[in-house]
Amino acid sequence: MTQLHELDATAQAAALRAREVSSVELVRHHLDRIAAHDGTLGAFVTVTADQALMRAAEADERIAGGAAPPYAGVPTAFKDLTFTKDTRTSMGSAAMRDFVPPVNAYVVDLVEQAGFISLGKTNAPEFGLSSYTDNDLVGPARTPWDTTRNAGGSSGGAAAAVAAGLVPLAPGSDGGGSIRIPASACGIFGFKPSRGRVSAGPLGSDWSGLAGDGPLTRTVRDAAALLDAMAHPEPGDVRPLPEPPVPYATWVGREPRRLRIARWSRTHLEGISPSGESIAAWEQASLVLESLGHDVVDVDNPFPQELEPQFNVIWSSGIASAPIPAEADAALRPNTRYWRDRGRRATAVDLSRAMQFLELTTRQVITDLQPYDAFLTPTLAMPPQPVEWFNESGDPAEDHHRELQFTPYTALYNMSGQPAASLPLHWTAEGLPVGVMLAGLPGEDGPLFSLCAQVEAAAPWRDRRPPGFA
């Protein structure tokens, strides 16, 4: 018999509409799973059980009245970097442990308007700065495939929760790979939309053009549905893309034409190479794409190494300008102080040059990539790593170097603004998930969904679940 948490969000919504289950039952089932498993996983910072059950009862009334939104009563959870009114949002930082935002992020309002019910706030590293999830509030988020290993970051709690069936899907955010990295480490699907697809308002800022929100799910159709809820431009957005003319859920049902897909596995960073498992996943994905009739073409990595130091100027300037009270300095983690101090050393001229370099360089890259429809690389250069691996040296500079060894691919698409997805197509002999990344041209989120859905149908993964979390 299928358990409720084995259903994806689309199937859960259908069961609710058919009155096969109530939202109160569905929410309580997932809250029970959080209580049973989160002590092992570290997926949540805050659980809002009473609020969720109250909203579930309201959803049941709306469903009975026939006037409910499409995902009324389906559980989800918001990342602890995403502002949620009247709910603690600590930004993964002990310095912010009691912060309660005065308003919701627009993305929270949009997801809740679609009917989803939040069960709480998912774990994230301090201010989302790292590609692994650990903090001084609840500790690390762990992949359910091997709980000695980190879930990846910065949306690690969200990915772990989805992979373990604590929620069917969850929004994440991605400024350098923070959706795709944990999707790979947790064996689920993660989609970073094109720049400007999802609003950062009303109080958030995408001044650098690097970050955006997107879905973490077990199925491509759920990711499309969640992005359909999120992808609406709001007043004052700096880089808004227009309302999608065709829902992404419709794109999932469309068979893509024969595509020309460029692939590369060499990183743009000297001295950093992908592991054998990352190459095996990439080769496996290439065979699947070719079996579907697509032309897969080997090309050189089009992104130059010079992007890395310029990206670091922008990344560090962001945390250096964050309004963190001086008295909170002692509560910050060494990694946060490392990036803040780097940002403080950068001048306004340094920042301006870095932003112009990224814009001009990635514009040329995208121009050169016009003959192709999609792009295939590994998601990560390594399988999920032990919890202590990233910062065991105690040296934040070594921490940063290990992050580059782990994830040399994902941030490139934040710089270029392209949509990109991590697909869980490969597992090691030890049972660790290793994702592959498919990307599209800027603004081509819909065609990328079609391709991902086609790959999912040819090499399905939805029923593969981590042992111990069935």
Instruction: Please say if the pLDDT value at position 198 is more than 90.
Output: yes
DSSP symbols for 46-110:
EE-HHHHHHHHHHHHHHHHHT---TTTT-EEEEETTS--TTS---TT-GGGTT---SS--HHHHH
3-state secondary structure at position 260: strand
Confidence band for 137, pLDDT divided at 50, 70 and 90: very high
In the predicted model, what is the mean pLDDT of residues 385-411?
Answer: 97
Instruction: Please say if the pLDDT value at position 100 is more than 90.
Output: yes
Instruction: Please say if the pLDDT value at position 329 is more than 80.
Output: yes
Average pLDDT of every residue of the chain: 97
Supply the pLDDT for residue 371. 98
Tokens, residue 388? 């202590």
Query: What's the predicted TM-score (pTM) here?
Result: 0.98
> Taking every pair of C-alpha atoms in the chain, what is the biggest distance, in angstroms?
62
What's the distance, CA 46 to chain centroid? 19
Instruction: Please say if the pLDDT value at position 124 is more than 80.
Output: yes
| Architecture, CATH, for domain 4-458 | Alpha-Beta Complex (3.90)
List the beta bridge partners of residue 206: none
Among residues 67, 74, 158, the alpha carbon closest in space to that of 116 is found at: 74
In the chain, what percentage of residues exceed pLDDT 90? Answer: 97
Distances (CA, A) of 435 to 112, 381, 415: 29, 10, 21
Supply the pLDDT for residue 325. 81
Supply the pLDDT for residue 452. 99
Tokens, residue 331? 């509560």
Tokens, residue 408? 């040399």
Q: How many whole angstroms separate alpha carbon 470 and alpha carbon 466?
A: 7
Supply the pLDDT for residue 91. 97
* Torsion from C-alpha of 236, 241, 246, 252, nearest 10 degrees: -120
DSSP symbols for 130-165:
SSS---TTT---B-TT-TTBB--SSSHHHHHHHHTT
pLDDT in tens, 140-191: 999 999 999 999 999 999 999 999 999 999 999 999 999 999 999 999 999 9
Confidence band for 419, pLDDT divided at 50, 70 and 90: very high
Instruction: Please say if the pLDDT value at position 236 is more than 90.
Output: yes
Domain ranges of the chain: 4-458
Instruction: Please say if the pLDDT value at position 265 is more than 90.
Output: yes
In the chain, what percentage of residues exceed pLDDT 70? Answer: 100
Q: Which residues of 87-104 are buried (b: 16+ CB within 10 A; e: fewer)?
A: bbbbbbbebbeeeebeeb
Distances (CA, A) of 20 to 26, 107, 279, 384, 431: 10, 29, 44, 38, 35
Supply the pLDDT for residue 150. 98
Q: How many whole angstroms separate alpha carbon 259 and alpha carbon 377?
A: 16
Supply the pLDDT for residue 327. 82
Instruction: Please say if the pLDDT value at position 1 is more than 80.
Output: no
In the predicted model, what is the mean pLDDT of residues 331-353?
Answer: 97
In sequence order, what are the residues at sequence separation of 6 or more whose Cβ sits closer than 8 angstroms to the Cβ of residue 455?
285, 288, 289, 292, 423, 425, 438
In the predicted model, what is the mean pLDDT of residues 222-239?
Answer: 97
Among residues 212, 269, 265, the alpha carbon closest in space to that of 408 is found at: 269
In the predicted model, what is the mean pLDDT of residues 411-435?
Answer: 98
Helix (H) or strand (E) holding 440: strand 433-440
pLDDT in tens, 382-393: 999 999 999 999
* Active site residue ranges: 79, 154, 178
